[in-house]
Amino acid sequence: MKKAVVILSGGLDSTVCMSIAKSKGYDVFPLTFAYGQRHNKEVEQARKVADYYGCNKHLVVDIDFFRAIGESALTSDRINVPVNRSQEELAEGIPVTYVPFRNAVFLSMATGYAESIRAEIIYIGVNALDYSGYPDCRPQFIQAFQEVIRLGATTSDKGAQIKIESPLIHMSKGEIVKLGLKNKSPLHLTTSCYQGRERACGICDSCQLRLKGFSDAGTKDPIQYEEVM
């Protein structure tokens, strides 16, 4: 059976990517990173999603690097997670929740994993519309990294090439929710909140984008929130 590595964060987008890979008949190998984020809720939910899909192997990799360098509200306790920001504020600049060059590190490791298990494709749930201003979620970045794989992976020398698939990159959050529902993705197991508490805060940037997505899709988010704006 053909194999796919899925970068699985435990969030909405990566879980929908899992459902796409499964629908295309891939033997899915989820790859999750404990990268020094301020909570382990993401990793916990990623394990649940992997179990839901009955994956034979779910690789969880610990990376201390991002916690060591800090410089992001997601990896440093010195930087507060922004809350209650307006839609206009959400659209302005690169937020403090950006983790420096994170997707490049994730894709590098996913490529090495794909080479080792002879997977032909890597799924990543980046999004260029509701992407929170992160530069490593843009189509240009994905295209550039595809070229890195062509130049640096041994499979390319053998006439094959590991392909990066980013099926959500041009979709709105509402469209992603609709696709997840269509594919019967376990959206109730996902988490998006930057705070990582038992219930989602409802007021951080990620919660606001998620809630808007479910609202635009005309359905209720199945997870619980502390408060909703």
8 labelled binding-site residue: yes
Q: What stretches of the chain adopt beta strand conformation (E)?
A: 3-7, 27-34, 59-62, 121-123, 163-165
130 labelled binding-site residue: no
pLDDT for residue 88: 82
Contact 27, 55 (CB under 8 A): no
Helices and strands (H, E) in the chain, number of each type: 9, 5
16 labelled binding-site residue: yes
**pTM of the shown model:** 0.95
pLDDT confidence bin for 104, thresholds 50/70/90 = very high
pLDDT for residue 160: 76
Segment 117-140 mean pLDDT? 89
pLDDT for residue 157: 60
For residue range 137-159, what is the model confidence (pLDDT) as tens digits?
999 999 999 999 999 988 766 66
174 labelled binding-site residue: no
Segment 90-110 mean pLDDT? 93
1 labelled binding-site residue: no
207 labelled binding-site residue: yes
For residue range 154-192, what is the model confidence (pLDDT) as tens digits?
876 666 789 999 999 999 999 999 999 999 999 999 999
Q: For residue 4, what are the β-bridge partners?
A: 28, 121
User: Domains in the chain, please, with CATH?
Assistant: 3-216 (3.40.50.620)
12 labelled binding-site residue: yes
Angstrom distance (rounded) from CA 160 to CA 150: 9
pLDDT for residue 229: 61
Angstrom distance (rounded) from CA 121 to CA 130: 24
15 labelled binding-site residue: yes
With pLDDT > 90 as the criterion, what percentage of the chain qualifies? 86
pLDDT for residue 131: 56
13 labelled binding-site residue: yes
The whole-angstrom distance between residue 226's C-alpha and the CA centroid of its chain comes to: 23
201 labelled binding-site residue: yes
204 labelled binding-site residue: yes
Q: How far is CA 29 from CA 69, 108, 155, 186, in A?
A: 29, 16, 18, 17
